[in-house]
Amino acid sequence: MSGPQCCANPPTLNPSSGAGHVEKVGGLDSYVTCSPDSKLAILLVSDVYGYEAPNLRKLADKIAAAGFYVVVPDFFYGEPYAPENAERPIQVWLKDHGVVKGFEDAKRVIEALNGKGVSAIGAVGFCWGAKVVVELGKTSAFIKAAVLCHPSFVTLDDIKEIKVPISVLGAEVDHLSPPALLKQFEEVLAAKPEVDSFVKIFPKVAHGWTVRYNIEDGAAVKSAEEAHGNLMEWLAKYVK
């Protein structure tokens, strides 16, 4: 289910990137960046490259500036996917870092956030992380809203079970969640009037574009920023 595109354009990880800091949340090292005293939290669930990706942290800072307490946990316990490691190809790596474990860890992070007095939580998932966010969104117990960016592993059956407002941002060039599949997602969601939904396919971009864009490429940055604007509008609308 995961192919070369899932791992294309790997970021140069930087543990000191971003305006926030790293602390333990729910037992996981997490990048935390926040608006002081905010009771509204956003959980960002990374792709396979983890929480030290500079573009991901930059987005976290942008969401925090809009008034949210933003947490980006290290769901991979210090071992993000490393494409240069021939002994740990993606299929082997995924056996140790599956989305089921990610879902269980995410629930612990949410429990910790609730313990801090947070009143509402939204979640955004990228590639691998989108599957974790979908699992969270199958009940209204954990999050108020979900955003999926170029999802991996998400199925029609998953979408049928969604209970919270959901936004799906997809790429025109995506072998993991091609436009045809996203259109099916849209049809399933349209038949669920009790769940507000938004599905958008971005032209001329590939899987991973929202966080793995080249900062020197103006068109790539523009498409990523458009997606960031869409996801922030969704969070502002439903996490309150």
Q: How far apart are CA 10 and CA 6, in angstroms?
A: 10
Q: How far apart are CA 7 and CA 9, in angstroms?
A: 7
Q: Is the pLDDT of residue 2 over 60?
A: no
Q: Is the pLDDT of residue 14 over 80?
A: yes
Q: pLDDT tens-digit profile of 42-96?
A: 999 999 999 999 999 999 999 999 999 999 999 999 999 999 999 999 999 999 9
Domains (range + CATH), the chain:
4-238 (3.40.50.1820)
Nearest in space to 51 (alpha carbons), one of 84, 90, 88, 25: 25
- Contact residues for 184 (Cβ-Cβ < 8 A; gap 6+): 156
Q: pLDDT tens-digit profile of 170-195?
A: 999 999 999 999 999 999 999 999 99
pLDDT in the model for residue 7? 87
Q: pLDDT tens-digit profile of 93-143?
A: 999 999 999 999 999 999 999 999 999 999 999 999 999 999 999 999 999
Q: How far apart are CA 148 and CA 4, in angstroms?
A: 20
